[in-house]
Amino acid sequence: MALTESTMVKLGSPAHGFSLPDTNGKNVNLNDFDSDALVIIFTCNHCPYAKAVEDRLIILGNDYQGQTDFVLISSNEIENFPDDSPEKMAERHQTKSYPFPYLFDESQEVAKAYGAVCTPDIFLYNKNRKLEYRGRLDDNWKEPEKVTREELRMAIEAVLNGGEIEFDQIPSMGCNIKWK
């Protein structure tokens, strides 16, 4: 497992269109989301960094239902990483009761379009689907009880309130996306 930092895509970049299957096989499109904020998280089932923040993402998703849309996307190749297969994604989605869709990017084109490189890699878009935040979830991926700054939550609040994100955006880090 190689520790990889997010590439810190340019703020103001537009969200890229996609149409990807969810864990029920139904295609989900970027245009299906209409909230004032959209969080796109590239993740997977097997990465310890992604697993460490998973419960906190579920809490955020529940806290912002009706105000912010969340979507998880797994772009890992599955031949060498079968834990990230659509079947295993569906199991995880159900077991963890995700309050948001979990999509499979088999071609890896969506991850490439977004500049995603690690899991988790987090992108927050405003109502106009312009990038407002790309960075880490909070200041302690490993020990939730020691978190002192919930940076994604702070960024969501700023976007929902029409304000600026007035803190340094620190790259997310995690396992590299498993490219074909």
Q: Give 45-96 pLDDT, tens digit per residue.
A: 999 999 999 999 999 999 999 999 999 999 999 999 999 999 999 999 999 9
Class of domain 3-176: alpha beta
Check residue 6 and give its pLDDT.
Answer: 80
Q: pLDDT tens digit string along 16-26?
A: 999 999 999 99
Q: Where are the alpha helices (DSSP H) in the chain?
A: 48-63, 86-95, 109-114, 151-160
With a cut of 70, say whether residue 1 has pLDDT above it.
Answer: no
Check residue 175 and give its pLDDT.
Answer: 94
31-55 average pLDDT score: 97
Q: List, in order, residues 6 or more apart from 122 with CB less than 8 Å away.
A: 6, 39, 40, 41, 133, 134, 135, 136, 137, 152, 172
With a cut of 80, say whether residue 5 has pLDDT above it.
Answer: no
Pick from 159, 165, 152, 127: nearest CA to 41: 152
129-158 average pLDDT score: 96
Q: What is the mean pLDDT of the chain?
A: 96
**pLDDT tier at 32, thresholds 50, 70, 90:** very high
Tokens at 76, concatenated: 């890992």
pTM of the complete model: 0.96
Domain boundaries, the chain: 3-176
32-49 average pLDDT score: 97
Amino acid present at 37: A
Q: Which carries the bigger pLDDT value, residue 22 or residue 2?
A: 22
**Reading across the β-sheet that carries 173-176, which strands appear in turn?**
3-5, 173-176, 118-119
With a cut of 90, say whether residue 7 has pLDDT above it.
Answer: no
The torsion angle over the Cα atoms of residues 105, 110, 79 and 134, rounded to 10 degrees, is -100
Please identify which residue in the block is written with the tokens 């939550």. Answer: 153
Please state the separation of Cα 169 from the chain's center in Å: 15
Percentage of the residues of the chain whose pLDDT score is greater than 70:
99
